[in-house]
Structure 1
Amino acid sequence: MYWVALAGRHEPLAPARDQVRAVLAGVVPCVDDAVLVVSELVGNAVRHTTAGPDCLTIEINEDQVIVAVHDPEHDDGRVHVSESAADPLAESGRGLWLVQALARRWYVETTAVGKAVVAVLPRRKSAVSRAARF
C-alpha cells in the first residue's frame, strides 16, 4: 500500500499523477489507465469539494490495482456519473464516465474523516495504451 499526501497542496494533480507513474511503472501494464483515473478523481475532488483531496492511496494485488482519492467531506450522494457524459459536445462531466470505462468497478467509501472514491483497475495492458495504437 502506498500513501501520497495531497492535503494543502495548491496543485495536487501533478504530484498525484507523478506518484502513480513512479509506483506502477515497470510493475503493472495498466500505468496509463491508472494515471488517467487518478487524474479524474483528484480533479473531481479539487472541483467538487471545499477542502480538496486529502490523500491518495495505491494498492497493488495479484490481479488488480486499487487507487483511492480521499477527501474530508462525507458522501452526500453527489458522486455519480454525470448525465452530460453521453453528450459528445459537453465540455465537462466525463470524468467518472472515463473512470467507469477503465476500471473494473468504482465506488464511494465512507471513511473516519470523510470519503474515498475508489477505482479498481485490472493489472493487464492499459486500455489507453491499446487505444493509442489505432
Structure 2
Amino acid sequence: MTMTPGLLGQGEFPGELSSVPKARRYVRDLLDAAGHAQADDALLLVSELVANAVRHSDSGRRPGGQVHVAVANCDGTLHIDVIDAGSPEHRPSLRADTCIGSCTGRGLWLVDEIASAWGWHDTPAGRVVWFQLTGQ
C-alpha cells in the first residue's frame, strides 16, 4: 500500500469473520482520535466490506489470507479502502433484488446508500473496495 495524504492508519487482519469486529474497533479508535463526525456510518460500512472480503475473496478462502484496511481523512472527506486478495469468480456489484428486510446481500447496497462515493478496482495484489464520506 502507498501512503496517502491524511492517512490516519492502516491495519491488517486475518481473512476470517472474527476479523470484522477487530477491523471495526481499529477504525473506531482511529476515528475517535481524529474526532470524525461520521464514525457510525464509517463503522457500519467497514463492517460490511470486511465481511464481504472474507466471504467472497481469496483472502477468506486461502490459508493465511489477509484483509487490509486503510483510513485517510483528506480535507474533511473520510476515505476508507478495504483491500483483499480478490476473486476471479466474484466482483463487487449491487444486487438488483436487494430487500431492506433481508439478513444478507445488503452490504454494497448499504455502501451505495450511505457513502458519498464508492467504487472498486483490481490491483496486481488483489482488489480494493473503497468508500468516501464527506464531512458534515
Shorter-chain TM range is 0.7 to 0.9
- After superposition, residues 1-134 of structure 1 pair within 5 angstroms as 1=7, 2-8=9-15, 11-25=18-32, 27-52=35-60, 53-73=66-86, 78-85=91-98, 87-124=99-136
1:54 & 1:98 partners in 2: Cα distance? Answer: 20
Cα displacement (A) at 1:7: 3.2
CA RMSD of aligned residues (A): 1.9
List alignment gaps of at least 5 residues for structure 2.
Answer: 1-6, 61-65
List alignment gaps of at least 5 residues for structure 1.
Answer: 125-134
Q: Which has the higher strand share?
A: 2
Counterpart of 1:130 in structure 2 is none
Cα displacement (A) at 1:74: 5.1
Moved more, 32-41 or 3-12: 3-12
Per-residue CA distance 1:25-78 (angstroms, 9 max, x = gap): 152100000000100000111111132352100011112101111011256662
Pairs aligned (count): 123
TM-score normalised over the length of structure 1: 0.81
CA contact (8 A) 2:80 2:130 kept: yes
Task: Give the direction of change, closer, same or farther, for the CA distance of 1:38–1:88 in structure 2 (3 Å limit).
Answer: closer
Per-residue CA distance 1:91-126 (angstroms, 9 max, x = gap): 3111111111111111002223011100011122xx
Moved more, 44-53 or 90-99: 44-53
Task: Give the direction of change, closer, same or farther, for the CA distance of 1:22–1:77 in structure 2 (3 Å limit).
Answer: same
Q: Which amino acid aligns with 1:11?
A: S
Match of 2:14, SS state, is coil
Match of 1:97, SS state, is helix
Cα displacement (A) at 1:89: 4.4
Task: Give the direction of change, closer, same or farther, for the CA distance of 1:7–1:71 in structure 2 (3 Å limit).
Answer: same
Q: Which amino acid aligns with 2:39?
A: V
Runs ≥4 residues deviating over 4 A = 74-77
